Each structure stands twice: as structure tokens, then as C-alpha cells.
Chain A
Amino acid sequence: MAETTLETPVETHRPRRIKWGAIGDHTVLILGALLMMIPPLLALTTASHDAVTIHREGLQLTLGDNLGKNFHAAMFEKGGFTQTVDGTLMLMNSFILGIGFAVGKIIISMMAAYAIVYFRLRFATLAFWVIFTTLLLPLEVRILPSYEAIQKLGLTNTYTGLIVPLIASATGTFFFRQFFMSVPEELAEAARIDGAGPWKFFVDILVPLSRTMIAAIFIIMFVFGWNQYLWPTLITTDESFFTLVRGIKQIVLSYTDSQIPEHGQALALAIVAMIPPVAIVVFFQNWFVKGLTESDK
């Protein structure tokens, strides 16, 4: 890993040469980190000011004294047209969407991947293509017909309607397929000689073996589900089903109002919408990175 830079002339002293290169590297990285850090941090500092200040002066660099108040209001004050929805309810809905989507996706795609990889099926190739055609085709492309389908099934304003259509893509299946293919063949053979049938092999060996992979894909899918925007916007018109990210739309609309809206509260809510996915990605970043980069192999 210790790669020295040879761009500077050879006659300079070796220690100094390394130092200059390293300083350049660190400068670039610090600038990059600032680029990524500053916008959300400014949102946080700004959220600590009162609405009038924010409306007049915009983003704030310093911490004000309204942080607790704004967050409290965002979480517990009922808002919206019907005055029934508060931040806590939206937070709960976000968790239901994130976890429900991730868990559903993992179960369904693991089973399908297992069937495709480990069984001699005449229609395996067909099933493979039926599933993997959907790999890159996001819900956004077929948004209108999907919405119509949900409406015909009477699933608008239900968690089922919110979660299940999002599962209808092959990303998870593809991920597990790749992982199963990398599991040594001999493991299944040893299990067969040990008298484990296909179901036992799946439950006793393959699922425990995939623990890290499951954790990794859970993180990715949780973030993906949590961050869904267009689909919840269409499917949930009943405010009691609103997720935080869905609520952003309301925040944006309120932010552009001509009167002085509750800017601090809106920002606080946006920050709450960021925290859980960011936390899970930061705390479990080794799993997350592994899952993300191995999903394409």
C-alpha cells in the first residue's frame, strides 16, 4: 500500500518527497470530505434557529438556541391538512417501509436464488430470464400502470401496496445468486452425503453461511426502502401512511410559501429523515461496502 510518488525530481530528499505527495493527497481528501459534509451540517445548524431568522437570512453557520424546540415541534406537533400526522408517526411509517421492504426482499430473493442455483429445473433458464429482465427497470418507468394495478387491487393507502410492488425487481435475487455461486460446490455435496435434503441444506448450511451477506443487503435495502419517494407519494394519500421522505414534498411546498413558514421545523424533520439511514450506513459500513461492491460480481 505504501506507494511513493515519483512525480517530483529524484534528487530531492526522500522523506520530503513523500511528505509533499501526502499533503497533496490529504488536501484533496479534506476538500472532498468538506464538500460532502457541509450541506447537511449547515442544515443542522440552521435548524437551530427560529423561523424568522431563517426566512430572512437563509442558512446559518452557527448554532442557535431553538434546536430542541424545533425538533420537538417537528416530532410531536400535528400538521398536515387533517392535523393528524406528526413526525413520530412519519418516522414509524418510514421504519415500516424500510424494514418491511428489506426483510421481504431478502426472504423472497433468497428463496428464488436458491431455487435457481441449486436445482436442476427444466424451466430454470426461463425463470432466470423472467426475473432478471426486471434487474434495472425501476418502478419509476412503469409508474402509471403500476399505480393503476395497485388501485385495481384496492391496495392504495395500505402497507402492502406501499411495500410489495417495490420488491418486484431482481436486484436482491441477483445478489444472492452471485453469492451462492461462489459457495464451494463441495459444501452441498458434503451435506448430501451427510443426509441433508434440499430444505435442510438451505436452513442448516446456506442461510447461516449467508449471514454477512444478509446483513449487507439488509442495510442496502433498508436505505433504498427508507428513501423511496415517488411511489409513496402516489400510493399514500392518507396522511397517516406518510413516511418522512414522502413528507419532504409537503416541506418543500411549505418552504416556498410566501408567508413565513416553520422553516426550523421543516429542517428538523428533514434531518430526522436523514439520521436512521445515515446511522446504519456509518455504523455498519464494512458490511455495507462489502454488500454494495460484491453485488455486482
Chain B
Amino acid sequence: MAQVSLEGIRKVYPNGFQAVQTTSFTIQDGEFVVLVGPSGCGKSTLLRMIAGLEEITEGTLKIGDRVVNDVDPADRDIAMVFQNYALYPHMTVRKNIGYGLKNRGNPASEIAAKVEDAAKMLNLTEYLDRKPAQLSGGQRQRVAMGRAVVRDPALFLFDEPLSNLDAKLRNQMRIEIKALQRRLGTTAVYVTHDQVEAMTMADRIIVLNAGRIEQIGTPSEIYHNPASTFVASFMGAPPMNLIRAQVEQGEVRINGYDGLMPAPASQNGPVTLGIRPEDVVLDDHGNIPFRVDILEELGAHRLLHGVVGEQPFSVMIGKDDAASTGTATLNLKPEALRLFDPETGRKL
């Protein structure tokens, strides 16, 4: 068990490409941290630097109290689960799980016992003598987990471990991984591009974009108080509505309409206004006209897609609420309004 701290970590590839800009954060002991962002945002590079598979250009990486910049991956006391699982195809499940222990020189009887334990924990006991090719995707995923668990590491690293599974299995494995990590209390860093995984699994989320940290926070903070328009549109499905607006005399006006609301910020001029679709209320007496183009039925609720003053806009309503395509009017919940700088995208 260990805390992990990154101090001024930076990664520049030999070809000059800067994959990760100077970054600092600390992961607490036992915490489940998810690195999330679009592809190419540097999240995998960050993870691989922690694993020791990628050299750190600049900065200090500590696992526990130890600086591990120059420590071999095998000696960092970590375990990693890869996207394609990276199981050794010619070894049985038993050998796959025990290979790391064998290389550490553990006695055979101890390895056997630990492998059995890990297999039991992951419901793999009956598959121990099969080869990876004879297993289903979900079982392979479990073997990869077993390989990580059996080493009892200080730190788990997950590199998009669920993206090769179908949707149903993914939901199930998501819960299993989280439960396992809770039970073992091992610190975990988890990389994904799937914001649902990030929201559901993380104690804390780190949102990355173009090699830079956009925001660090709990899922709730990230969802309700995005630090930038990038986070607002990347996290949450459906994403937050972002439309151009004006702040004049302490009031927000949406372009083209005099839909007036009190402005939380004391600033004048153009702003980007953000509001989650569920914080919008359809109201016959509302002051913002909304043209509904498409009605999306999602079961538990419905989504209305349309435009407000030429700008795309979505509204979420309950499953029993009446709605139809055509024109309607809206009210926005004032406490749910978020204002962003239209130039930088940062929160005001």
C-alpha cells in the first residue's frame, strides 16, 4: 500500500513531441484514481511512466517514500493490467498468473498456494490448466487481473482494461474491479477514455487534454463544477449544453433573446453559458424559446434535441413528461448555471 506522488513530471519524446506537460499530483494510499481524456491526451503515457515502461523526461516520481525514476518496472512493486491483457499465449492460466512470482524466486509451494488463492478470488479455479486461447474475453480479463492480484503489489495500474469487452460484460467487470480494489485496499491508477467508467469507478478523476491536466476532483465535483468547457463537454452523457451568452448589468442574456437570469458572476461581456440537460425545465411560461427537432426515448427519461437561438441544445425530461417536436419554451435553474470564459474555456 502506498501513496504515489508526481512532482513536475514531463514527457518529451525523442522526436520533440511533448506528450505530457509539467504535471504534479498525489494519489493517496488506497485511493482509486482514474485518468480520463480523449485519445492522445497523454493519459497512457502518464500511466506508463508510473509503470516504468516509459522514461521520465523531467520531474520526480515517488511510490511510497521511494523515488523510482530509475527503478526497473519489476522492482517498483506494481502490477499492470493491459488493454489486450498481454497474457502469455503458450502458458496455462496457472503459469501466467505465477510467472511474476517465479521470476522473483518464490518457492514453488508458495507460488502454487498464492495462485490458487487468486484464482478462487476471481472464479478462475476450474480454468487454471487452460491456455488463454481457450478462454472467453471476460475470463482472459480475469486472468490478467489475477496476474496483478497475485503479486500483492503496492499499486495497481490499469490501461483501459475493459475496452475489449462487450457492453454487458464491461458493466459487470467494472463493478468487480472496483469491489476487488476496495477489498484489497490497494492504491489504483486506472486509464480510460470512457467517461462512464471514470464516473462510476473513481474516488478521484483526473481529466487530461492535450498533455495537460484540465481538472482533478471527485466524480461529483467534475460533473457539477467542471473547471472548463472541455471537461463540461467531455464528462457526462449527454454532455453539458454550452451556448454563447452575454452578461450585462448582473444579468445573463442568451443571444437573440432577452431570456434574463441573474448572473452569478459580476462580470460584463460575452460568456459561454453551461447547463446540464437535466437542469433545464420545460415550462409553458418559460422565457427562452426552444425548437425541439428530435425526441430521444431512453427508458428512464427522455432527451429532447433542438436549438436555442441557432445553437444546439438538449433537455432531459422525465419519462412521463409530455413532449413533442416543435416549439416550446424553457426555464433554466439559476443555481445550475455555469459560466465560462469564451476565449480560454476556463470557468469564471
A and B touch in the complex (CB under 8 A): yes
Chain A interface (Cβ < 8 Å from any Cβ of B): 184, 186-187, 189-196, 200, 204-205, 208-209, 211
Is A195 touching B78 in the complex (CB atoms < 8 A)? Answer: no
Q: Which residue of B lies closest to A187 (CB)?
A: B86
- B-side contacts of A194, CB under 8 Å: 74, 99-100, 103, 147
CB distance from B304 to the nearest CB of A (A): 44
Q: Is B82 an interface position by the 8 A CB rule? A: yes
A194 to B51 CA separation, bound complex (whole angstroms): 12
What mask results when residues 53 to 74 of chain B are scored 1 for a CB within 8 Å of chain A, else 0?
Answer: 1000000000000000000111
Q: Is B292 an interface position by the 8 A CB rule? A: no
* Apart from A193-B78, A195-B103, A205-B88, 20 more pairs, CB < 8 Å: A186-B84, A186-B85, A189-B51, A189-B73, A189-B82, A190-B82, A190-B86, A190-B87, A190-B88, A192-B52, A192-B73, A192-B74, A193-B53, A193-B73, A193-B74, A193-B80, A194-B147, A195-B74, A195-B104, A209-B89
- A-side contacts of B84, CB under 8 Å: 184, 186
Is B83 touching A186 in the complex (CB atoms < 8 A)? Answer: yes
Q: Is B168 an interface position by the 8 A CB rule? A: no
Is A196 touching B103 in the complex (CB atoms < 8 A)? Answer: yes
- A-side contacts of B147, CB under 8 Å: 190, 194
> What are 23 A-to-B residue pairs whose CB atoms are below 8 Å?
A187-B86, A187-B88, A189-B51, A189-B73, A189-B80, A190-B86, A191-B99, A192-B73, A192-B74, A193-B74, A193-B79, A194-B99, A194-B100, A194-B103, A195-B75, A195-B100, A196-B99, A196-B103, A204-B99, A205-B88, A209-B88, A209-B89, A211-B90
Is A193 touching B51 in the complex (CB atoms < 8 A)? Answer: yes
Q: Which residue of B lies closest to A189 (CB)?
A: B53
Q: Which residue of B lies closest to A196 (CB)?
A: B103
A186 to B85 CA separation, bound complex (whole angstroms): 8
Leading 9 A-B pairs by shortest Cβ distance? A186-B86, A195-B74, A195-B103, A194-B100, A190-B86, A186-B82, A208-B90, A193-B73, A192-B73
- A-side contacts of B99, CB under 8 Å: 191, 194, 196, 204
B103 touches which one: A184, A187, A200 (CB < 8 A)? A200
- B-side contacts of A186, CB under 8 Å: 82-86
CB distance from A194 to the nearest CB of B (A): 4
CB distance from B245 to the nearest CB of A (A): 47
Q: What's the count of A-B pairs with C-beta under 8 Å?
A: 59
- A-side contacts of B85, CB under 8 Å: 186
Chain B: interface size category: 20 to 34
B53 touches which one: A184, A192, A195, A208 (CB < 8 A)? A192
A36 to B52 CA separation, bound complex (whole angstroms): 57
- A-side contacts of B90, CB under 8 Å: 205, 208-209, 211
A190 to B159 CA separation, bound complex (whole angstroms): 12
A167 to B75 CA separation, bound complex (whole angstroms): 40
A211 to B88 CA separation, bound complex (whole angstroms): 13
Is B89 touching A189 in the complex (CB atoms < 8 A)? Answer: no
A189 to B75 CA separation, bound complex (whole angstroms): 13
- B-side contacts of A204, CB under 8 Å: 99
CB distance from B250 to the nearest CB of A (A): 56
CB distance from A277 to the nearest CB of B (A): 29
- B-side contacts of A208, CB under 8 Å: 90
Is A190 touching B74 in the complex (CB atoms < 8 A)? Answer: no
A37 to B118 CA separation, bound complex (whole angstroms): 59
CB distance from A141 to the nearest CB of B (A): 39
Q: Which residue of A lies closest to B53 (CB)?
A: A189
Is A190 touching B103 in the complex (CB atoms < 8 A)? Answer: no
A200 to B88 CA separation, bound complex (whole angstroms): 13
A190 to B86 CA separation, bound complex (whole angstroms): 6
A186 to B79 CA separation, bound complex (whole angstroms): 13
A209 to B86 CA separation, bound complex (whole angstroms): 13
Q: Which residue of B lies closest to A209 (CB)?
A: B90
Known: A194-B74, A195-B74. A189 touches B103 (CB 8 A): no
- B-side contacts of A200, CB under 8 Å: 103
- B-side contacts of A184, CB under 8 Å: 84, 86
CB distance from B57 to the nearest CB of A (A): 16
- B-side contacts of A190, CB under 8 Å: 80, 82, 86-88, 147
What mask results when residues 154 to 171 of chain B are scored 1 for a CB within 8 Å of chain A, else 0?
Answer: 000000000000000000
A194 to B78 CA separation, bound complex (whole angstroms): 9
- A-side contacts of B103, CB under 8 Å: 194-196, 200
B100 touches which one: A187, A193, A209, A211 (CB < 8 A)? A193
- B-side contacts of A193, CB under 8 Å: 51-53, 73-74, 78-80, 100
- A-side contacts of B52, CB under 8 Å: 192-193
A242 to B85 CA separation, bound complex (whole angstroms): 53
CB distance from A104 to the nearest CB of B (A): 24
What mask results when residues 82 to 110 of chain B are scored 1 for a CB within 8 Å of chain A, else 0?
Answer: 11111111100000000110011000000
CB distance from A190 to the nearest CB of B (A): 4
CB distance from B76 to the nearest CB of A (A): 8
CB distance from A125 to the nearest CB of B (A): 14
- A-side contacts of B100, CB under 8 Å: 193-195
A6 to B85 CA separation, bound complex (whole angstroms): 46
CB distance from B149 to the nearest CB of A (A): 13
- B-side contacts of A187, CB under 8 Å: 86, 88
A200 to B104 CA separation, bound complex (whole angstroms): 12
A158 to B318 CA separation, bound complex (whole angstroms): 89
CB distance from A61 to the nearest CB of B (A): 50
A194 to B76 CA separation, bound complex (whole angstroms): 11
